DNA sequence: GCAAGGTC
């Protein structure tokens, strides 16, 4: 029998590092584009995350024809998504009698290991198996894990697989239900899911709040004070809801005020905490989409410039030599910043609240120069380097001044600050420091009032979420993971549920959330994830039967399908779909202008009054069309953006565009006519 | 062509 040992990790990088920690004379062989690390008859292989996907058999692929009920109890099959890896696993299986699962020490990691084990056992049923559990890839941790190997936790893997089944069944059934009912099929389908739908609900409900918001008037009083040559502004301590009251107070203010309180304090401001994925994406989203930021981080990681970008951890582990990394940057574009860090007698890093042991926070692992990277890559790299150096930098020192002034019983307050020493803020210039100025005052001092203003203001609706806000909120609500949140947002964009940043929902998004709230509210709530988490834990502990959990979902969905008013659902969704196509009002008959397709599937803007009204406008045929929320001032038609492979371009108002084009064409036509006339006037040369 | 979760 073969005497070999195979160690399986979740990713290539880990395989390489583990093999170098545990063995000497490691050789790397490359087959089918996959590295295997070998030392004698021991092999270390890195997977690529999940190599198997659950799906319905292909007989169920026709969305329109398959009754949804039959999908509920359809067999769920395993499809190999990483064929090359599966092939290598089968080949290696024949050379070994023992396998150690060394995937990440978490629920998904356990399942990923079991997926690989399944493929190995098919080729070699008698292979022995054990599990290495480590939470950091350091020599100490890895050696410890391999000296105390444990058993594979099949219950834990089962719980992860149950999550997959629940997600697939709910997702597929409701996605198909909505897509078929609305007629939005093909690449325009309407999706539903345990994470995306609650996220979309947040966006939709925020938009409803904004729509329903009734602004309230209020009044604020400002006064300008003068001490010597300094003029400074303070605000009345009260915000007035009543105009008369505000006017009364305003009149009372005399030409001078007494200083009731003055305080000056020096306060230190600690630098920001180390980057985990959420913090990183929130900061990067100031200038780049989370999706792009994440994909750049991934490539910087693969090139060895930064540490693993998918982490929840905000505390540097002791094993990282922070000073040594900072020292690397003395010979770099960040020389000044690194020197500031190293000028301190002792380095003290900030720490966040979340501390996990699997990956460190995101930090730079090697020095890059501007020429090594593309422009966007550099921006992300620079952000990560600056953040890292900032977490080790001295505090910023501020001078705070606060106080109270009184004029004829009316009180004014101020609270301003000024930077005395920027400290980390010089290293990390992404935040603007809001500074104000008030001169030093003495208690009891009388100050001259040179001007006063009564300002009418309005309360404002809550702001729309930005991508950065949402990723943070999703984390807080337990929606998605560090690896998926940015992808979920991307999904909402590509389904045309949302557009812009801050995010606005489309009309169909309102209809979808409305329909789901009426018929299957659970899928629009973070509670569904929370419930699933609890059940997964119980399955992992062996307290709950996985088939029961799946069955409960099936029965729940069956109930929904039997009670749903399909006609109403279809009507409401189609109305949403229709509204999203409305570009504006027809200038000729006043009916809605919509985006239509001609018989030869060319798109154009047409009037819903057709055939009575034959008004049309041309559209470009390439790229996908986005209606923006901005309207043309002249025609009241929504401005259009086109997204092509190269990026977005603003088309603006289609009507303006058309008129311009017609005019320029008219000029060209006129030119042609002129030329023709010219030709006629000129006597022709005679040719022989 | 569906979900969400890993990772490339």
**CA distances for A67 relative to A71, A173, A177, A304, A515, angstroms:** 7, 10, 10, 50, 20
The reply to whether A298 and A374 lie within a common domain is: yes
Query: Among chain A residues 94 through 123, which have CB within 7 angstroms of nucleic chain B?
Result: 104, 106, 108, 112
The reply to whether A106 and A231 lie within a common domain is: no
Residue A1 DSSP SS3: coil
Residue A51: CB less than 7 A from any atom in strand B: yes
Residue A333: CB less than 7 A from any atom in strand B: no
pLDDT interval class at A649 (50, 70, 90): confident
Task: State the number of CA atoms in the 13 A half-sphere of A305 facing the CB.
Answer: 20
Gap from A302 CA to B8 C1', Å:
9
In a domain, A59, yes or no: no
In tens, the pLDDT along A43-52 reads 999 999 999 9
pLDDT interval class at A679 (50, 70, 90): low
Q: How many domains does chain A have?
A: 4
Q: Which of A573, A598, A620 is the last residue of a domain?
A: A573
Burial category of A554 from C-beta neighbours within 10 Å (exposed 0-12, middle 13-18, buried 19 and up): middle
CB neighbours of A342 closer than 8 A, spacing ≥ 6?
A: A323, A326, A327, A330
Residue A391 DSSP SS3: helix
- Distance between CA atoms of residues A388 and A326, nearest Å: 8
Mean pLDDT of A428-441: 93
More confident residue, A676 or A73: A73
Residue A537: CB less than 7 A from any atom in strand B: no
In a domain, A653, yes or no: no
pLDDT interval class at A670 (50, 70, 90): low
**Triad A625, A626, A631: Cα angle to 5°:** 125
Query: Among chain A residues 182 through 211, which have CB within 7 angstroms of nucleic chain B?
Result: 185-186, 189, 191-197
Gap from A11 CA to B8 C1', Å:
10
Residue A298: CB less than 7 A from any atom in strand B: yes
In a domain, A634, yes or no: no
Mean pLDDT of A397-416: 97
The reply to whether A225 and A204 lie within a common domain is: no
- Distance between CA atoms of residues A425 and A435, nearest Å: 13
Tell me, what's the pLDDT at A71? 96
The reply to whether A360 and A292 lie within a common domain is: yes
Residue A661 DSSP SS3: helix
- Mean pLDDT rounded to a whole number for chain A: 93
Statement: residue A255 has pLDDT above 50: yes
Residue A114 neighbours by CB distance under 10 Å? 21
- The protein residue nearest nucleotide B2, judged by CA to C1', is A172
| Active-site entry in A43, A134, A305, A308 | A308
In a domain, A567, yes or no: yes
Tell me, what's the pLDDT at A676? 65
In a domain, A258, yes or no: yes
Residue A16: CB less than 7 A from any atom in strand B: no
Q: Is A301 a catalytic residue?
A: no
- Of A207, A50, A196, A170, the closest CA to residue A115 belongs to A50
Statement: residue A688 has pLDDT above 50: no
Tell me, what's the pLDDT at A535? 97
- Distance between CA atoms of residues A678 and A684, nearest Å: 11
Mean pLDDT of A315-342: 96
Statement: residue A685 has pLDDT above 70: no
The reply to whether A105 and A34 lie within a common domain is: yes
Gap from A242 CA to B6 C1', Å:
58
Statement: residue A515 has pLDDT above 90: yes
Query: Among chain A residues 480 through 519, which have CB within 7 angstroms of nucleic chain B?
Result: 480-484, 487-488, 491
The reply to whether A264 and A413 lie within a common domain is: yes
Tell me, what's the pLDDT at A323? 97
The reply to whether A105 and A172 lie within a common domain is: no
In a domain, A487, yes or no: no
Tell me, what's the pLDDT at A165? 98
Residue A238 DSSP SS3: coil
pTM: 0.89
Mean pLDDT of A16-42: 95
A437-446, A547-556, A582-591: least confidently modelled range: A582-591
Residue A600 DSSP SS3: coil
In a domain, A539, yes or no: yes
Nucleotides of B under 7 A from a protein CB: 1-8
Tell me, what's the pLDDT at A135? 82
The reply to whether A208 and A222 lie within a common domain is: no
Tell me, what's the pLDDT at A317? 94
The reply to whether A400 and A265 lie within a common domain is: yes
The reply to whether A375 and A361 lie within a common domain is: yes
Q: Which of A391, A419, A443 is the last residue of a domain?
A: A391
Question: Range of A447's domain?
Answer: 217-270+396-458
Statement: residue A26 has pLDDT above 60: yes
Residue A63: CB less than 7 A from any atom in strand B: yes
Q: What percent of chain A has pLDDT over 90?
A: 81
Residue A524: CB less than 7 A from any atom in strand B: no
The reply to whether A253 and A298 lie within a common domain is: no
Tell me, what's the pLDDT at A636? 82
More confident residue, A199 or A627: A199
Q: Which of A549, A573, A597 is the last residue of a domain?
A: A573
- The protein residue nearest nucleotide B1, judged by CA to C1', is A186
**CA distances for A273 relative to A313, A316, A432, A607, angstroms:** 10, 10, 17, 55
Statement: residue A686 has pLDDT above 90: no
CATH number of the domain that residue A370 is part of: 1.10.290.10
Statement: residue A678 has pLDDT above 50: yes
- Distance between CA atoms of residues A540 and A349, nearest Å: 37
In tens, the pLDDT along A97-143 reads 999 999 999 999 999 999 999 999 999 999 999 999 998 888 988 99
The CA dihedral of A306, A308, A310, A311, to the nearest 10 degrees, is: -100
- Of A172, A206, A167, the closest CA to residue A190 belongs to A172
The reply to whether A356 and A292 lie within a common domain is: yes
Mean pLDDT of A665-671: 69
Tell me, what's the pLDDT at A645? 60
Mean pLDDT of A416-436: 94
Mean pLDDT of A497-505: 95
Residue A402 neighbours by CB distance under 10 Å? 15
In a domain, A667, yes or no: no
Gap from A600 CA to B4 C1', Å:
38
């Amino acid at each position: 029998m073969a005497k070999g040992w195979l160690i399986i990790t979740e990713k290539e990088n880990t395989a390489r590092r583990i093999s170098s920690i545990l063995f000497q004379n490691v050789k790397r062989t490359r087959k089918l584009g996959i590295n295997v690390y070998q030392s004698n008859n021991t092999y270390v292989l890195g997977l690529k995350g999940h190599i198997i996907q659950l799906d319905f058999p292909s007989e169920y692929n026709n969305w329109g024809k398959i009754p949804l009920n039959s999908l509920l109890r359809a067999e769920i099959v395993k499809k190999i998504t990483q064929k090359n890896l599966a092939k290598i696993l089968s080949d290696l299986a024949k050379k070994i009698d023992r396998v150690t699962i060394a995937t990440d020490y978490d629920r998904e990691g356990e399942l990923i290991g079991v997926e690989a084990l399944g493929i190995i056992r098919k080729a070699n049923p008698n292979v022995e198996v054990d599990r290495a559990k480590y939470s950091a890839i350091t020599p100490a941790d890895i050696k410890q894990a391999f000296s105390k190997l444990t058993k594979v936790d099949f219950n834990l893997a089962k719980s992860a697989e149950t999550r997959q089944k629940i997600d697939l069944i709910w997702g597929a059934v409701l996605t198909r239900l909505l897509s078929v009912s609305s007629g939005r099929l093909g690449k325009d389908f309407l999706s539903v899911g345990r994470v995306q739908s609650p996220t979309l609900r947040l966006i939709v409900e925020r938009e409803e709040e904004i729509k329903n918001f009734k602004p309230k008037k209020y009044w604020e009083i400002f006064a300008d004070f003068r001490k010597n040559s300094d003029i400074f502004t303070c605000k009345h301590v009260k915000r007035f809801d009543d105009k008369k009251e505000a006017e009364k107070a305003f009149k009372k203010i005399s030409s001078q005020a007494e200083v009731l309180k003055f305080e000056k304090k020096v306060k230190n401001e600690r630098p920001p905490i180390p980057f985990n994925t959420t913090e990183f994406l929130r900061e990067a989203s100031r200038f780049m989409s989370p999706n792009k930021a994440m994909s750049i981080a991934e490539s910087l990681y693969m090139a060895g410039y930064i540490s693993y970008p998918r982490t929840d951890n905000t505390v540097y582990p002791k094993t990282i030599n922070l000073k040594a990394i900072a020292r690397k940057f003395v010979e770099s574009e960040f020389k000044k910043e690194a020197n500031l860090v190293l000028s301190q007698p002792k380095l003290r890093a900030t720490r966040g609240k979340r501390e996990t042991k699997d990956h460190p926070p995101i930090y730079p692992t090697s020095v890059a120069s501007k020429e090594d990277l593309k422009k966007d890559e550099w921006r992300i790299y620079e952000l990560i380097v600056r953040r890292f150096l900032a977490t080790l930098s001295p505090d910023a020192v501020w001078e705070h001044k606060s106080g109270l002034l009184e004029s004829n019983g009316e009180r004014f307050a101020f609270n301003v600050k000024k930077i005395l020493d920027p400290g980390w803020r010089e290293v990390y210039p992404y935040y603007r420091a809001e500074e104000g100025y008030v001169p030093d005052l003495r208690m009891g001092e009388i100050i001259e009032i040179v001007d006063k203003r009564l300002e009418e203001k309005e309360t404002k609706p809550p702001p729309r979420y930005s991508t950065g806000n949402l990723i943070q909120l999703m984390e807080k609500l337990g929606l998605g993971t560090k690896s998926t949140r940015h992808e979920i947002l991307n999904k909402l964009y590509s389904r045309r549920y949302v557009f812009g940043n801050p995010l606005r929902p489309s009309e169909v998004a309102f209809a979808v959330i409305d329909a789901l709230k009426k018929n299957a509210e659970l899928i629009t709530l973070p509670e569904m994830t929370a419930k699933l988490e609890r059940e997964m834990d119980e399955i992992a502990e062996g307290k709950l039967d996985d088939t029961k959990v799946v069955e409960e979902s099936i029965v729940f969905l069956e109930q929904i399908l039997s009670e749903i008013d399909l006609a109403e659902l279809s009507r409401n969704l189609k109305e949403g779909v229709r509204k999203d196509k409305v570009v504006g009002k027809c200038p000729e008959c006043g009916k809605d202008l919509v985006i239509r397709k001609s018989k030869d599937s060319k798109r154009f803007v047409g009037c819903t009054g057709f055939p009575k009204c034959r008004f049309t406008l041309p559209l470009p045929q390439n790229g996908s069309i986005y209606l923006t929320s901005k309207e043309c001032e002249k025609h009241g038609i929504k401005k259009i953006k086109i997204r092509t492979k190269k990026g977005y371009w603003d088309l603006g108002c289609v009507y303006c565009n058309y008129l311009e084009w017609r005019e320029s064409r008219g000029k060209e036509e006129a030119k042609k006519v002129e030329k023709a006339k010219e030709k006629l006037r000129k006597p022709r040369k005679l040719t022989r």
